[in-house]
Structure 1
């Protein structure tokens, strides 16, 4: 069977280093996991945040590039170090 049932049978299980998108749409690199939560960090670095395992999906190349450009723009405006 395809669709939501298949997704529940085989949840996405990212490995450290994988680029993912969380439920809020933020792109992050998987740093590790603890129980049902994964620790993510922005591709350009920064503070980690937690995301529930069932809410993650692989990030597309376009999403990773967009996150990197956004961080570069924030740095150029002095909003982040």
Structure 2
């Protein structure tokens, strides 16, 4: 993956890793970028920590959130 490439995926985070940076889109809004804090083994539930005062947020498969996995060089 090149420095400016991103990969869009749904909540199926089964191939994600803790500590991976993602940009989250849900409910028609860009929620910003955050770090995958934890996830279930099957990737059906993903917790993302956003910067600032907002605590970590849980996303379920049913939320139909869209995640863009950020390459390390494109973060912020």
Structure 2 residue runs without a partner (length 5+): 1-7
Structure with greater strand share of residues: 2
Which of these two proteins has the greater Rg computed from alpha carbons? 1
1:15 aligns with 2:17: yes
Indicate conservation of the 8 Å contact 1:22/1:51, yes or no.
Answer: no
Structure 1 length normalisation: TM-score? 0.48
Structure 1: distance between partners of 2:36 and 2:53: 11
Q: Which runs of 4+ in 1 moved over 4 A?
A: 43-46
Q: Which residue of 1 aligns with 2:59?
A: 51
Q: Which residue of 1 aligns with 2:4?
A: none
Structure with greater helix share of residues: 1
Return the structure number with greater relative CO, CA threshold 8 A, min gap 6. Answer: 2
Structure 1 residue runs without a partner (length 5+): 1-6, 66-81
Structure 2: distance between partners of 1:52 and 1:20: 15
Structure 2 length normalisation: TM-score? 0.50
